[in-house]
Amino acid sequence: MPGVLLGTTPGEYERLGLGTTIEQFEDGIRTDPSLRGHYEWWYFDAHLDNGAKLVVVFYTKSFATPNTGLQPLISIDLDLPDGRSLHKFGVYDPTDFSALTEGCDVRIAGHRFTGDLHEYTITADVDGIAVDVSLTGRTEPWRPGTGHIHFGDRSRFFAWLPSVPHGAVTATYRVDDDEPVSTTGSGYHDHNWGNVSPLSVINNWYWGRGRVGPYTFITSYIVSEKEYGYEPVTLFMLARDGKVVADDARLVEFARSGLATDEDTGKPVADRLSYAYRSGDKQFALTYRREETILRSHFIDALTGVRKLAARLLRFDGSYLRFTGTVSLDAGSGDAAEHLEGPALWELMYFGRHGHETRG
């Protein structure tokens, strides 16, 4: 049995109550947050037309330490046009959390993340940063297969649903007592959940999304932990004019180059990532080129008390890095070839110890 496997069989679809068309309940709460080991989050990011970048995430608990009951969290990352990078993290009482199973309606202490797979509203105010966002989908919802990646005997899983691969954004943000800033831009929303800590099954992953010309793309390269042979899973989606045109990851070749150790986190970081898709005459080559690391985060910094002490004793060194740069897409060949370039935002989530991962 493979160490890691993306669920794509008819039996997997039937067991999960899924079809080929994505339904609203898939963006509703999918786990019981009171259960140890179960975690869930709803993610949004945007490139804003004034040069700012915004990321907002609602969590049922920290995915780094999910062996707790419900412990709701909200994070806001705001990179301002003047060069300031603000990173805020709010922790709330379990009684302040509610979420619906029928669709996306997540509420934490008066903050809301709601939507219907097309129109979304996000409002949050965390430690001096207030945001009010509207997101309207321009690319159809998508998931890779069932969206469930299984580890070992398949009882352990991590699930992923890009509800809005690309959308139009209207956003207002305010920092402390500054005047509110209203602008537009492009955005993305996905939903993640699982029943096993990513730290125990995933060594690291690269994830990115963006848009160039009429194309929207989402990519991920996930490397499992040693127990699962460091076996990788590649995820890839390319849409043109809002409709998916390529998403069979079995036809994708992943490569990275320009590896160097990041001094702050100690993790190996690639300057270049490439995903090459080939299916007969259908050919796409997507390449990320890193220009700047805009966020470095140590997971241990989110812990307190005994948990933080235990993590230090175990030499836990999980890190998260976010990058900006350019992405290029070469589509087709010969007289029909297209070459497009644009800005991109992507991340490296590193749960395992660097140097242990041997594949990819």
Neighbours of 89 (CB within 10 A): 17
The answer to whether the CB of 100 falls within 8 A of the CB of 29 is yes
Question: CA 21 to CA 141: how far, in whole Å?
Answer: 9
Calculate mean pLDDT across residues 180-190: 97
The two tokens of residue 216 are 């929207």
Considering the chain, tell me which residue range(s) the CATH 2.40.370.10 domain(s) occupy.
1-196, 200-360
The model's confidence at residue 1, banded by pLDDT at 50, 70 and 90, is very low
> Whose CA is closest to 227, among 156, 302, 301, 317?
156
CATH of the domain spanning 200-360, picked from 2.40.370.10, 1.10.1750.10, 3.30.465.10, 1.10.150.20: 2.40.370.10
The model's confidence at residue 218, banded by pLDDT at 50, 70 and 90, is very high
pLDDT exceeds cutoff 70 at 98: yes
Question: CA 275 to CA 234: how far, in whole Å?
Answer: 9
pLDDT exceeds cutoff 70 at 352: no
Helix (H, G, I), strand (E, B) or coil at 239: strand
The two tokens of residue 145 are 């297969």
267-276 pLDDT per residue, tens: 889 999 999 9
Q: Taking the domain 1-196, which CATH number applies?
A: 2.40.370.10
The answer to whether the CB of 114 falls within 8 A of the CB of 104 is yes
pLDDT exceeds cutoff 70 at 299: no
The answer to whether the CB of 298 falls within 8 A of the CB of 250 is no
45-69 pLDDT per residue, tens: 999 999 999 999 999 998 877 889 9
Q: Which helix H or strand E contains 273, and what residues bound it?
A: strand 272-279
